[in-house]
Amino acid sequence: MTGRGRGAYADIMTVPAPGYCSAAAEQLLDFVFAEVWQRPNLTRRERRFVTLPCVADADAEGPLRDHVYAALSSGDVAIGEMQETVLHFAVYAGWPKASRFNMVVDQQWERIHAERGLPVPAPEPLLPLTTPSDPEQRLCVGEQSFKDINCLPYAPNRDNPFQGAGILNFVFGEMWLRPGLGVKERRLITVACVAFQDAPYPILSHVYAALKSRDLSFDEMDELALHFAAHCGWPKAEHLGQVIAEQKQRVTAEWAGESEATS
């Protein structure tokens, strides 16, 4: 690794760069840390919310542990935000991978406190929830939240277990509405997750909604694609890039139409 690569690695990972591996690995480390992470349009903190789902998806225990440690140790991500990230990731990437992510978060949080000679603070209590408990009211909240977050005029039919018990009741009726993680951070996590999950419609709908809501600018979304490529591989990133290009056009056309309609 070059001196610049070593410095960038130590800055981002909060530990010294590893010793010499192979020529091939060194070159990749230089590219990822000294080039990609240094670019404008997404802050280092925002890049954490793209990186964490990528490493949690990849099942590579070492990188997951290192990035969780770095995000918490640097102070870029608070423990409550990290735990909400795990729940959000569980929904979009599956609970088994989230279960390991959750364990790693607990371990690294303890490790950081042990290294600093501090006790681990007590967790925030779960109850009371901020969302309604009555099933009919939850579904109504979920329907509105589904429309708002997806920038769509309709919500799915509730009389289907996946859509009713899952999407409306839990994902949009509860999970997206939880305080403790900003909507921009949820957008970054979601786009990363749908991009590695590959199912075509969710990639399209979440890229669209992130741009349409203006939660992510066009430049931020392009930057997300590059950061994602470096951490989840080029083929998935190439597909994401195509979807982004199409959805930018769609959103631009819709904004032009809305601007005409209101002028």
- Give, as ranges, the residues between 222 and 251 that touch a second copy (CB under 8 A): 222-223, 225-226, 229-239, 241-242, 244-245
For 63-70, the CB contacts below 8 A with 24+ separation are 64/100, 64/101, 64/104, 65/104, 65/107, 65/108, 66/13, 66/15, 67/13, 68/101, 68/104, 68/105, 68/108, 69/13, 69/14, 69/15, 69/108, 69/111, 69/112, 70/12, 70/13, 70/14, 70/15
Told to check if 133 binds a second copy by CB under 8 A, we report yes
Told to check if 171 binds a second copy by CB under 8 A, we report yes
Told to check if 25 binds a second copy by CB under 8 A, we report yes
Told to check if 210 binds a second copy by CB under 8 A, we report no
Which residue number, 2 or 258, has a Cβ lying nearer to a second copy? 2
Which residue number, 105 or 215, has a Cβ lying nearer to a second copy? 105
A 10 A CB-CB count for 147 gives 14
Told to check if 98 binds a second copy by CB under 8 A, we report yes
A 10 A CB-CB count for 255 gives 13
Which region, judged by CB under 8 A, interacts with a second copy, from 29-37, 69-77, 141-149, 251-259? 29-37
Told to check if 139 binds a second copy by CB under 8 A, we report yes
Told to check if 189 binds a second copy by CB under 8 A, we report no
What's the start-to-end Cα distance of the chain, in Å? 56
Is the distance from CB of 219 to CB of 41 less than 8 angstroms? yes
CB of 23 to a second copy, least distance (A): 4
Told to check if 145 binds a second copy by CB under 8 A, we report no
CB of 249 to a second copy, least distance (A): 13
